């Protein structure tokens, strides 16, 4: 089989897979969101509590994966597991698309000096301690990728808590690079990066 034939077969397989993937059901997602998600994450995914993440403008595939991880127990949460136990993969994809379409927002920076340290860490890392630049994975604007979360505009305390969970190996379902990164970050660096990201839109 020559390269052209192989390429054609792969393209056909990808096309069939795409055709078999149902389109997100945004009305179903809205019903689910209003029935439960709104309690912690807000009417439009804006989340008024720093304990719960903002879902608005989050990457759809990343969010769907996290919901699936909560359902399987791969990511632990006594709050989230009961919320998603009766939902399907199609529901997760629909919720991902639903929240991804919501507008992003940012917080007012309360400590400009701390955010300045965070800006440096995010863009350049700390070459003296081996902490890599956050931008290398999460992008220069904090937008993330399909597989990695959008961090821009996220609650500072939530980001801080997640970094600490990676450090303590309480969060193990995502990129293992974060375990190494989190272990090398000081308390100041964690708080600084979180403060900086909270102010980005």
SS3 63: helix
For residues 195 and 115, is the Cβ–Cβ distance under 8 A? yes
Domains and CATH numbers, the chain: 26-100 (1.10.760.10), 112-198 (1.10.760.10)
Question: What pLDDT is attached to residue 176?
Answer: 85
- Report, as ranges of residue numbers, the positions in the chain whose pLDDT lies below 50: 6-7, 13-14, 16-19
Question: What pLDDT is attached to residue 16?
Answer: 47
Question: What pLDDT is attached to residue 190?
Answer: 98
CA atoms within 13 A on the CB side of 28: 15
For residues 173 and 165, is the Cβ–Cβ distance under 8 A? no
Question: What pLDDT is attached to residue 25?
Answer: 98
For residues 105 and 46, is the Cβ–Cβ distance under 8 A? yes
> Count of CB atoms within 10 A of residue 131's CB?
20
Question: What pLDDT is attached to residue 192?
Answer: 98
> Token match 């994450």: residue?
41
Question: What pLDDT is attached to residue 8?
Answer: 52
Give the distance from CA 163 to its chain's centroid.
Answer: 12
CA distances from 43 to 26, 29, 36, 83 (A): 15, 12, 10, 16
pTM metric for this prediction: 0.87
- Whole-angstrom Cα distance, residue 190 to residue 4? 50
- Whole-angstrom Cα distance, residue 85 to residue 81? 6
Question: What pLDDT is attached to residue 12?
Answer: 53
For residues 198 and 112, is the Cβ–Cβ distance under 8 A? no
Q: State the burial class of residue 166 (Cβ atoms within 10 Å of its Cβ: 0-12, 13-18, 19+).
A: buried
């Amino acid at each position: 089989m020559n390269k052209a034939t192989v390429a054609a077969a792969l393209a056909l397989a990808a096309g069939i897979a795409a055709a078999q993937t149902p389109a997100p059901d945004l009305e179903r997602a809205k019903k689910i969101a209003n029935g439960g998600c709104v309690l912690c994450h807000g009417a439009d995914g804006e989340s008024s509590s720093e304990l719960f993440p903002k879902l608005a403008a989050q990457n759809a595939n990343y969010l769907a994966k996290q919901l699936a991880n909560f359902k399987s127990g791969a990511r632990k949460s006594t709050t989230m597991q009961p919320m998603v136990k009766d939902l399907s993969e199609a529901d997760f994809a629909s919720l991902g698309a639903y929240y991804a379409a919501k507008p992003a927002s940012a917080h007012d920076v309360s400590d400009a000096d701390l955010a300045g340290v965070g800006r440096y860490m995010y863009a350049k890392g700390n070459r003296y301690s081996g902490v890599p630049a956050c931008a290398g994975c999460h992008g220069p604007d904090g937008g993330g990728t399909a597989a990695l979360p959008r961090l821009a505009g996220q609650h500072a305390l939530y980001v801080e808590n997640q970094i600490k969970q990676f450090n303590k190996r309480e969060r193990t379902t995502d990129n293992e690079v974060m375990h190494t990164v989190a272990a090398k970050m000081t308390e100041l660096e964690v708080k600084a990066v979180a403060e900086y990201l909270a102010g980005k839109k």
